[in-house]
Amino acid sequence: MADLSVKFTVQIPGGPTIQSDRKLAVSTHQKVDLSLPPNKAGTAKIDVDFTPDDTDKINLLLIQSSLYSDNLTFTIDETDIKDQKLVEPVLLLGSELIKAIAMPNKITFANKANLEDPAKLAQQTAQITVLVGRAASPPPEPETPAEEPADPVAEPEPVAP
């Protein structure tokens, strides 16, 4: 099992700066890079599927794009997250949070830009990266051996007078 390093700084000009440097135990990861160009109808879509047996182990979900726009959306299957605009990177850490908010079986990305000018294709094409980290399954608990019945206490034999 490897430790994934997660570091970030949030700085508000004239205000506080908060830094975090966390280690997150992951046993496996999945990185998907995809390109999502627009089409003339504004209906370009692409799905990212996850292994259903492993979704409860997801403890890291990162979505990053070269393009952030009201025209770029994502939907997480079987959740309330539908047509969410991708206007900033998305980072979720911790399996309990991910279970509560967005347990992903499938994420559908859509580029709703209408491609009317082919010269703008590169500007309107999103290069999206999805990174998922999975925690290892906890080791099985060792079986406790059944207690053997105690030897019955022997009654002392009566002594003859």
In what side-by-side order are the strands of the sheet with 126-134?
Answer: 28-36, 126-134, 58-65, 90-93
CA–centroid distance for 116 within its chain: 35
The answer to pTM > 0.85 is no
| DSSP-derived 3-state class of residue 155 | coil
Residue type, 47: D
Strand (E) or helix (H) holding 93: strand 90-93
Q: Enumerate the domain spans of the chain.
A: 26-134
Residue type, 65: S
CATH number for the region 26-134 comes to: 2.60.120
Instruction: Give the residue with greater pLDDT, 135 vs 112.
Output: 112
How confident is the model over 64-102, as pLDDT tens digits?
999 999 999 999 888 888 999 999 999 988 888 888 887
In what side-by-side order are the strands of the sheet with 44-49?
Answer: 44-49, 106-111, 69-76, 84-86
Cβ atoms of residues 75 and 82 within 8 Å:
yes
How confident is the model over 9-45, as pLDDT tens digits?
999 999 999 999 988 888 888 899 999 999 888 899 9
User: Per-residue pLDDT for 62 more than 70?
Assistant: yes
Cβ atoms of residues 36 and 46 within 8 Å:
yes
Pairing of β 126-134 and β 28-36: antiparallel
The Cα 50–Cα 71 span in angstroms is 24
95 phi and psi angles, rounded to 5 deg: -65, -35
Q: Which pLDDT belongs to residue 150?
A: 58
The Cα 129–Cα 63 span in angstroms is 6
